[in-house]
Amino acid sequence: MTLSCQGIGINTSREVAIGEAYLLNHGVAEISMREITEDQIQGEIERFQGAVKTTTNHLREVRNQIPGDTALDISEFIDTHLLMLEDVAISQATIGLIRENRYSAEWALQVRRDELVRVFDEMDDPYLRTRKDDVDHVVGQIQFVLAGGQPTNHDNLKGRVIVARDLTPAETIMMKNQGVAAFVTEFGGPLSHTAILARSLGIPAVVGIHQATTLFRQGETLVVDGAQGMVLADPTERILHHYRERIAARQKREADLRRQVDLPTMTMDGFHIYLHANIELPEDIGITLENRADGVGLFRTELLYINRPDPPSEEEQLEVYLAAVKGLKGIPHYDQNPGPGC
C-alpha cells in the first residue's frame, strides 16, 4: 500500500524526484547529567577540546571540497559553523562549566546549548529564531564525536533520497556533490538551512515530516514532490508512471525554452520588450547571460547580510557589485526602441 506523507515542500528547478530511500541515522542518545571528580576535570576538558578539533577538521575538509564557482552563500554556511566552533560562547563557556560545576563534557555542552537556544527562542524575528539551528548542528556534531563517532562522507548516495531527522549544511553540500536525488527531513521549515541550501543547490526537498525516519524503510522507492510538499512511499506503477511523465514534461519544456533564447523579445507589431533578470547569487549572472536577458531588474543583496555575525564592509559590497557589473559583460545596452510602458 502506498504511504503518503505531507510536509513543507521546497520547490526547485527539479520539483519531483524518484529514488531509493537512504535513512541517515547519526544522532546520539539523550544526554544525561553526569558529574566528574576533581582529578578528572583536565582530562574531560582535553576530551572536549579533541572533539572540537575533530569536528573543525572535518568541516574544513568539506569547505575545501566546495568548487570555487559555488555560490558564496553556500560556502558561508560552513564558515558560520567554523566560526561558532572557535567562539568562546561555546568553547570557553563549556570548559567553564566543566571546571566550575564538574560536569562531564557532554552535559556541560548540553547545558550551554540550552542556554544559547533560549536566547534565540526569545527573538522576535522569525529568521533569527531559526538560527538556533546553527547551535544545534554544531553542538550535535561535537556530541557525536564525544560519543565515539567519527564524521563520515557516506558512500553510494547517487540517485538516492536522503531521509534524516535533520541535515547539517556540511552534509547537505557533500550529498549534493554525490548526486543525491532529494532530501526528506523530520525537522525544518521554509527558513531552515536544509530548505535554503536545497533551493540554492537545485535539489527537491520536503521538510517537517514528523517521524520520517521511522515511517520510511531503507531502500524502498520514494517519490518526493517538492511542489506539493508530499512524499509517497512504495508507489504503485500507475503513480510512478504519472510522476515520470511530469519529470519528462518539465524536461521537455525546459529544452523547448532553451531553444528560444536567441529569438528576439518583440511584439508582433515590432516593439522590443526588454527582459530583465532578478539575481541574488553569483551563478545567477551566468544564467542571466545564457538566457539572453537584456539586463538586471533586481539585484537582491540581503544575502550579503545573513548567515554571518557582522554586516559586510563597504569594500566587500563594492567587490560584489563590481563582480556583478563585470560579469554581465556590458548589459544592459539599449539599442532598440522599447514598446509602450517598457
Reported as type and span, the H/E element at residue 141 is: helix 132-146
Residue that has been written with the C-alpha cell 529568521 in this structure: 127
Q: How much is the pLDDT for 70?
A: 56
Any idea which of 55-59, 142-146, 227-231, 335-339 has the lowest mean pLDDT? 335-339
The model carries a pTM of: 0.59
C-alpha cell at 315: 569594500
Instruction: Note if the bond before 264 is cis, omega within 30 degrees.
Output: no
User: How does DSSP assign 9-46, residue by residue?
Assistant: EE--SS-EEEEEEEEE----PPP---B--GGGHHHHHH
CB 224 within 8 A of CB 16: yes
The DSSP result for 194-216, as a single string, is HHHHHHHHT--EEE--TTHHHHS
Q: What is the pLDDT of residue 323?
A: 85
Contact 183, 167 (CB under 8 A): yes
Coil, strand or helix at 280: coil
Q: Which of 25-29, 174-178, 273-277 has the lowest mean pLDDT?
A: 25-29
Provide the 10 A C-beta neighbour count for residue 46: 11
Q: What share of the chain is helix, strand, coil (3-state, %, to 5)?
A: 45, 15, 40
SS3 category, 122: coil
User: pLDDT band at residue 340, thresholds of 50, 70 and 90?
Assistant: very low
Q: Report the alpha-carbon distance of residue 230 to residue 104 in Å, rounded.
A: 42
Angle at 173 between CA 223 and CA 74, to 5 degrees: 115
Which is more confidently placed, 293 or 192? 293
List domains and CATH numbers for the chain: 3-23+155-256 (3.50.30.10), 38-146 (1.10.274.10), 276-327 (no CATH)
CA 108 – CA 152 distance, rounded (Å): 25
Mean pLDDT of 203-213: 89
Half-sphere exposure of 167 (CA within 13 A, CB side): 34
- Report pLDDT for 275: 86
Q: Tens of pLDDT along 73-102? A: 566 777 878 888 888 888 899 999 999 999
Residue 154, φ and ψ in degrees, nearest 5? 60, 135
Q: What is the pLDDT of residue 199?
A: 79
- pLDDT > 60? residue 338: no
Residue 215 pLDDT > 60, yes or no?
A: yes
Task: Tell me what pLDDT residue 12 has.
Answer: 67
- Average pLDDT of the residues in 11-24: 84
Per-residue pLDDT, 306: 63
